[in-house]
A = this chain, B = another copy of it.
Amino acid sequence: MTISKRQLNLNVGINTTGYLANAWRYRTGTRHDINDPDYYRRLTELAHKGLFDAVFFSDHPALMTDPNGRPFHTIDPLILCTALAAQVPDIGFVATMSSTYNSPYNLARRTQSTDIISGGRLIINIVSSFNPNVAANFGAEPLPPRSERYAKASEFLDVAKQLWSSWDPAREGDIPENRFWDAATAQAIDHAGDYFTVKGPLNVPVGPQGHPVIAQAGASESGIELAARHGEIIYCNILSRAAGQAFGKKVRDRAIELGRDPSGIRIVPGLVAILGETRAEALRKHELFSGAGSEDGLLARFVKDNDIDPHGFDPDAILETERFIPDPNRIQAVGMGLGLSDLLAHEKLTARQAVRRSEGHHRLVLGTPEEIADSIVDLWADGTVDGYTLQPPRAPDDIEEFIDKVIPVLQKRGVYRTSYEERTIRDRYGLPNPFRSNGNSRAF
């Protein structure tokens, strides 16, 4: 691995018609794209042209059947990423999967298989699932409480890491001519914990990245604990410098407490970028793509989403922070709701200002390509973030626009690659190989 200048990391989400539920009305393409593997190939080729680190698939193993919504999670992400990896070189793949509704052996095996097949291009985004619709597809039991789901997720990854390193051909000694292999390269893990009993070894060997890169989302207390312990790429919602720095410090401090080197953590939050020839055009596109239709519509949605009494509401009054702290016991992903309260904890904002700072829970940047590039570099330059996971309102349109107009600006500023260099995603993110650091292949 060569020592290279710090670079901006960029992933791009390519679920169905794009990130924003209402933006499909303004996109190129047909409604049938969402289940067409060739559509995802074209999006991945586009992302490859933009030299993105990886394409990102969020996921729930359930069909959301709201007639006014749209199916957002369809073809299995790991299966789709496996096919795409066989079709498109270089680029990485973030596949989201549930630690609550998978077994560690099967998941460790499948993901290591895809990592081997892709030549070390897999990132797995482990989520503990929060939706009762998901639980109902996996038995009569309700969703376990959050604390249990996260404890289980943590042990799940402990087991997976043991399995991923349990068969290492690099341990091979001399093999007599009449034998096919050195069976001592594979060792049982004999794990017996609170949630899992797994003998091993895994029947897939150590992969090109040691194991797939582990991404982790969720900013609740349990989410931060899991991120600090296992997360290599943290996908989160960071709406301001102060909030981002506080979040990063929290995760890294906790990692140190757990005895982990925090230099193996990358913070790559979501970002919604809407471009215009002018800022005014970008604001107008935001009103349309969000489905709100106008600035008044955005304000009305804000009032409704935050349970504010509309009578006497002043969109130009400074908002009170306490009003926006989410209930930690609610069913929705808690971490996703923290963005706004974190933002307001550090900045005095009116509702009129706040509605232009986030969309779909993520940081919203609006303006000309130069302005967008400024906003991206701003939080990256001082290390608040290591990069972004672009969540384009419309696919393919907003990916194309970003590649045509923003990427060249980032390249001109010298913060973004002009070609793919590193072979694995782990190397591209400058993350350590988990099993090789001490010359001891089982250390992690």
Could you list which residues of chain A lie within 8 angstroms of chain B, going by C-beta atoms? 17, 24-25, 31-32, 35, 37, 60-63, 65-71, 73-76, 78-80, 82-87, 101-103, 105-106, 109-110, 113-114, 116-117, 133, 136-140, 167, 169, 178-184, 186, 192, 196-205
Q: Tell me the complex Cα distance, A198–B133, Å.
A: 10
Q: A106-B101, A117-B79 are in contact. Are A137 and B180 (CB under 8 A)?
A: no
Q: What B residues does A62 contact at CB under 8 A?
A: 203
Find the B residue at minimum CB distance from A202: B63
Q: What B residues does A110 contact at CB under 8 A?
A: 76, 78-79
Q: How far is the CB of A204 from chain B (nearest CB, A)?
A: 6
Q: How far is the CB of A48 from chain B (nearest CB, A)?
A: 15
Q: How far is the CB of A187 from chain B (nearest CB, A)?
A: 9
Q: How far is the CB of A269 from chain B (nearest CB, A)?
A: 26
Q: A73-B203, A76-B110 are in contact. Are A83 and B35 (CB under 8 A)?
A: no
Find the B residue at minimum CB distance from A137: B105
Q: How far is the CB of A150 from chain B (nearest CB, A)?
A: 21
Q: Are B70 and A117 closer than 8 Å at their CB atoms?
A: no
Q: What B residues does A66 contact at CB under 8 A?
A: 183
Q: How far is the CB of A73 from chain B (nearest CB, A)?
A: 6
Q: What B residues does A65 contact at CB under 8 A?
A: 183, 186, 201
Q: Tell me the complex Cα distance, A116–B70, Å.
A: 20
Q: Are A204 and B35 closer than 8 Å at their CB atoms?
A: yes
Residue from B70, B85, B138, B179 within 8 A of A180 (CB atoms): B70
Q: Are A197 and B139 closer than 8 Å at their CB atoms?
A: yes
Q: What B residues does A203 contact at CB under 8 A?
A: 60-63, 71, 73-74
Q: A86-B86, A180-B70 are in contact. Are A76 and B113 (CB under 8 A)?
A: yes
Q: Tell me the complex Cα distance, A367–B17, Å.
A: 58
Which 10 pairs across A and B sit closest by C-beta, in order of nearness? A63-B203, A136-B199, A67-B183, A86-B86, A70-B180, A76-B113, A140-B197, A79-B113, A105-B137, A83-B86
Q: What B residues does A167 contact at CB under 8 A?
A: 63
Which has the most chain B C-beta neighbours within 10 Å: A25, A65, A201? Answer: A65
Residue from B70, B83, B139, B204 within 8 A of A82 (CB atoms): B83
Q: What B residues does A113 contact at CB under 8 A?
A: 75-76, 79-80
Q: Tell me the complex Cα distance, A103–B138, Å.
A: 7
Residue from B70, B71, B103 within 8 A of A101 (CB atoms): B103
Q: Are A79 and B82 closer than 8 Å at their CB atoms?
A: yes
Find the B residue at minimum CB distance from A77: B113
Q: Are B80 and A83 closer than 8 Å at their CB atoms?
A: no
Q: A67-B183, A105-B61 are in contact. Are A79 and B78 (CB under 8 A)?
A: yes
Give 7 A-B pairs besides A63-B186, A63-B203, A133-B199 with Cβ atoms closer than 8 angstroms.
A68-B179, A75-B117, A78-B110, A79-B117, A136-B199, A137-B198, A140-B197
Q: What B residues does A78 contact at CB under 8 A?
A: 79, 110
Residue from B71, B140, B182 within 8 A of A181 (CB atoms): B71
Q: A65-B186, A116-B35, A181-B70 are in contact. Are A109 and B76 (CB under 8 A)?
A: yes
Q: What B residues does A67 contact at CB under 8 A?
A: 179, 181-184
Q: Tell me the complex Cα distance, A182–B69, Å.
A: 10
Residue from B35, B114, B117, B169 within 8 A of A205 (CB atoms): B35
Which has the most chain B C-beta neighbours within 10 Å: A60, A113, A140? Answer: A113
